[in-house]
Amino acid sequence: MRQILEQNLNIKKTKWPDFFRCINEELVILEDNLRHKLPTKSSLLKEIVSYIFNAGGKRLRPATCFLVAKGTGGITEKHMVLSELTELIHTASLIHDDIIDSAKLRRGRETISNLWNDKISVITGDFLFAQASVRLGQLENTDIVKIYAKVLSDLCNGEIEQYSLLFNTNISWDDYINKSKTKTASLFAACSKSAAILNNVDSLSIKMAHEYGNSLGIAFQIVDDILDFTGSSAELGKEAGSDLKQGIITAPALFAINSADNRANQLKTIIENKFNKASDDFKKAIQLIHELGGCEKAKLLALEYSEKSKESLSFIKDNEIKSYLSQAADFVAERIS
Amino acid sequence: MRQILEQNLNIKKTKWPDFFRCINEELVILEDNLRHKLPTKSSLLKEIVSYIFNAGGKRLRPATCFLVAKGTGGITEKHMVLSELTELIHTASLIHDDIIDSAKLRRGRETISNLWNDKISVITGDFLFAQASVRLGQLENTDIVKIYAKVLSDLCNGEIEQYSLLFNTNISWDDYINKSKTKTASLFAACSKSAAILNNVDSLSIKMAHEYGNSLGIAFQIVDDILDFTGSSAELGKEAGSDLKQGIITAPALFAINSADNRANQLKTIIENKFNKASDDFKKAIQLIHELGGCEKAKLLALEYSEKSKESLSFIKDNEIKSYLSQAADFVAERIS
């Protein structure tokens, strides 16, 4: 079982955390549902769906959902549905994002857009969103419908905001954190909160579950943004520095741009010129971000949000599950791929 | 008011039907909501949304929703939300379809893909789907969530099926009608049925409301398919014959292909060769479809479905409203643009 999970969850290189082990049965069922049980008569779509989910992924959102469920009364059939719809929304949004960002690689494999084309990507994303909606209906809970409608809205707003702020070196920390909330944390918060709602816990616990997911999601996004600068292409499964190259200003660049050092202005100018002036402008920008300590400072910010997420765990009474959720927060802040 | 509606609803050239007049107030509110009240901070998205909804459209799905509501107890605030979410889903699916079909024109204006690009089209479609989800949540009705989740799933399956059957002259009538149901009738049926559900009518009435929308939607799709052959580019607001050119086999072509006449085989061969053999192959195909009576036969089929939709109207007790719903069915079968 461990071997299957290691292989499935794409975390071979890191220590296999205990928190995955305590929900391995549910993760294996989820994996099977995603890979083999999405209903379509189209052989093309079957092939694409299998391609997508065989690429792995850490399944951190479903894991969050399962752990919160376990800590608030137990994992029910509805939590299985909730975790699946959460991963479907996540995957659909990645597929559409890859069209928008003209991405060539994702999780170490060619994107759907690159391997097939943009048209197929649009249909595939829409199909996964539709399948998520079907599962949302199965939950028969209008509060959760509202929560996930807000997530879809947030995901779009995050993507639009990112698009409208490309190469804008004047973006504020509020802009950055807000975009991280809408693009990433919103879905973490939704699955954590909804897992608690499905177990009929009190409203304060629901609020805390939301807070846990929200802080965890922001930490996750910041680490993702650091990895864009520090990871190798092989580790990342996509080109290193690809966000900055497109003009997306994330935490490491933002810390560097806002540092008191004179080189900050040089970095700003290079980015504002869209790396057009000299052929090694892009390399120079990466170098300046490292020299100005952008990644180290961003790491501290990620740890701050990871700690904040742990502080929200008072709603979990079971100490073992609480420690797993705490471990998940550490894993998010410390992951190297 | 009439002038605003004529302008908004893009039906200047046809007789302005009474059934639109009896719901004009609601249609004007809907129009205002669509054009001016979709929440986004992005100025780009505001511009695009305004561009889309200012292009008009007949708003037949909202009209169906309003009329069924009026005939089953009255139009409530929730029906306003329902009609809006229905038009949002319809519009979002058109925008994504235009990417998939590489369409240049829609409703006489350049498509979003053509005027901006495919990336912007993906985001805009996702934004409208997300806004539809938010409204679905506002209805607080899990039955309607399930109905619309099925619609989203149907829309995708219809599009995928269409894509997989391009240039396939062996498609059956079942394939064609099924694709028309999933691509078009599903949303008509959903808004008609849901309008009845919101007025708490009995289950037989809900079933009939579904049947009405389903038959109306199939009639609508068949007429759309006829117009692709008979309309001028100016009337259609897109290139004439554009469906066939892409390899989409619709009712007029299907009747022609399946006729006992020898020329049917010639037509099949031309289509199977993807109009590649001679430069005027495409013109020849259009000519053969006309000669073999494809459009006339398709017209009779559309009328059959239009009549079938009227036969489902026993659930409407008010004779005036019933006559308007009947008129809507005639309008759909007889429209010329």
The alpha-carbon gap from A46 to the nearest alpha carbon of chain B, in Å, equals: 11
Residue B140: per-residue pLDDT: 94
- Mean per-residue pLDDT of chain A: 89
Highest mean pLDDT, choosing among A231-240, A328-337, B308-317? B308-317
Q: Are strands A109-110 and A105-106 parallel, antiparallel or unpaired?
A: antiparallel
Task: Pick the range with the lowest mean pLDDT from A263-272, A311-320, B40-49, B77-86.
Answer: B40-49
Task: Report which DSSP code applies to B314.
Answer: G
Task: Pick the range with the lowest mean pLDDT from A265-274, A278-287, B202-211, B302-311.
Answer: A278-287
The vertex-A71 CA angle with A66 and A72, nearest 5°, equals 100
Nearest to B123 among A100, A129, A136 (CB): A100
The alpha-carbon gap from A269 to the nearest alpha carbon of chain B, in Å, equals: 25
On whether any CB of chain A is under 8 Å from the CB of B141, the answer is yes
Reading the block at residue A56, the tokens are: 């792995």
A132 → chain B, closest CA residue = B149
Nearest to B159 among A99, A123, A129 (CB): A123
On whether any CB of chain A is under 8 Å from the CB of B278, the answer is no
The vertex-B124 CA angle with B120 and B125, nearest 5°, equals 120
d(CA B194, CA B313): 15
Reading the block at residue A271, the tokens are: 């980015």
Query: In terms of Cα–Cα distance, which of A194, A230, A247 is closest to A302?
Result: A230
Alpha-carbon distances of B136 from A129, A135, B46, B86, B140, rounded to whole Å: 15, 14, 22, 9, 7
Alpha-carbon distances of B215 from A12, A195, B81, B294, B333, rounded to whole Å: 55, 40, 24, 21, 11
On whether any CB of chain A is under 8 Å from the CB of B148, the answer is yes
Query: In terms of Cα–Cα distance, which of B161, B186, B152 is closest to B249?
Result: B161
Q: What percent of chain B has pLDDT over 70?
A: 91
Average pLDDT over residues B312-328: 94
Residue B309: per-residue pLDDT: 97
On whether any CB of chain B is under 8 Å from the CB of A134, the answer is yes
Average pLDDT over residues B266-285: 87
Query: In terms of Cα–Cα distance, which of A124, A173, A21 is closest to B159?
Result: A124
Average pLDDT over residues A244-271: 93
Nearest to B146 among A40, A137, A157 (CB): A137
Q: Which residues pair with A197 in a beta bridge?
A: none
Alpha-carbon distances of A154 from A158, A216, B160, rounded to whole Å: 6, 17, 27
The vertex-A105 CA angle with A99 and A106, nearest 5°, equals 85
Reading the block at residue A170, the tokens are: 């004047």
Asked if residue B189 lies in contact with residue B214, where contact means CB atoms within 8 angstroms, the answer is yes
Chain position carrying tokens 């200047």: B12
Whether B160 and A123 lie within 8 Å, measured CB to CB: yes
Higher pLDDT: B71 or B113? It is B71
Nearest to A118 among B99, B127, B156 (CB): B99
Q: Are strands A105-106 and B105-106 parallel, antiparallel or unpaired?
A: unpaired
Write out chain A residues lying below 8 Å of B41, CB-based: 157, 161
Write out chain B residues lying below 8 Å of A141, CB-based: 142
On whether any CB of chain B is under 8 Å from the CB of A37, the answer is no
Interface predicted TM-score (ipTM) of this complex, two decimals: 0.86
Average pLDDT over residues B84-91: 96
On whether any CB of chain B is under 8 Å from the CB of A7, the answer is no
Task: Report which DSSP code applies to A313.
Answer: G
A40 → chain B, closest CA residue = B157
**What are the phi and psi torsion angles at B239 (to 5°)?**
-65, 140
HSE, CB side, 13 Å, CA atoms: give it for residue A36: 5
- CATH number for domain A2-334, candidates 1.10.600.10, 3.40.640.10, 3.90.25.10, 1.10.357.10: 1.10.600.10
On whether any CB of chain B is under 8 Å from the CB of A55, the answer is no
On whether any CB of chain A is under 8 Å from the CB of B336, the answer is no
For chains A and B, count residue pairs whose Cβ atoms are closer than 8 Å: 136
Write out chain A residues lying below 8 Å of B146, CB-based: 134, 137-138
Whether B160 and A136 lie within 8 Å, measured CB to CB: no
On whether any CB of chain B is under 8 Å from the CB of A3, the answer is no
A145 → chain B, closest CA residue = B137
On whether any CB of chain A is under 8 Å from the CB of B174, the answer is no
Nearest to B126 among A96, A148, A163 (CB): A96
Residue A238: per-residue pLDDT: 62
Dihedral (CA of A316, A322, A326, A327) sign = negative
d(CA A334, CA A216): 12
Higher pLDDT: A18 or A179? It is A179
Residue B334: per-residue pLDDT: 86
The vertex-B94 CA angle with B90 and B98, nearest 5°, equals 175
The alpha-carbon gap from B50 to the nearest alpha carbon of chain A, in Å, equals: 16
Average pLDDT over residues A20-45: 88
Residue B237: per-residue pLDDT: 61
Q: What percent of chain B has pLDDT over 90?
A: 65
A92 → chain B, closest CA residue = B126
- Mean per-residue pLDDT of chain B: 89
Average pLDDT over residues B54-59: 84
Whether B131 and A141 lie within 8 Å, measured CB to CB: no
pLDDT in tens, B118-171: 888 899 999 999 999 999 999 999 999 999 999 999 999 888 888 888 999 999
Nearest to A156 among B99, B127, B155 (CB): B127
d(CA A61, CA A194): 12
Asked if residue A66 lies in contact with residue A80, where contact means CB atoms within 8 angstroms, the answer is no
Task: Pick the range with the lowest mean pLDDT from A15-19, B67-71, B152-156.
Answer: A15-19
The alpha-carbon gap from A121 to the nearest alpha carbon of chain B, in Å, equals: 9
Alpha-carbon distances of A218 from A8, A165, A237, A304, rounded to whole Å: 25, 19, 21, 10
Phi-psi category of B214—alpha, beta or left, where left has phi over 0 and alpha has psi -120 to 50? Answer: alpha
Alpha-carbon distances of A67 from A17, A23, A50, A327, rounded to whole Å: 13, 7, 26, 11
Residue B239: per-residue pLDDT: 65
Reading the block at residue A290, the tokens are: 């490292």
The vertex-B277 CA angle with B271 and B281, nearest 5°, equals 55
Whether A155 and B45 lie within 8 Å, measured CB to CB: no
A46 → chain B, closest CA residue = B160
Whether A142 and B145 lie within 8 Å, measured CB to CB: yes
pLDDT in tens, A147-187: 999 999 999 988 888 888 899 999 999 999 999 999 999 99
Average pLDDT over residues B192-212: 98
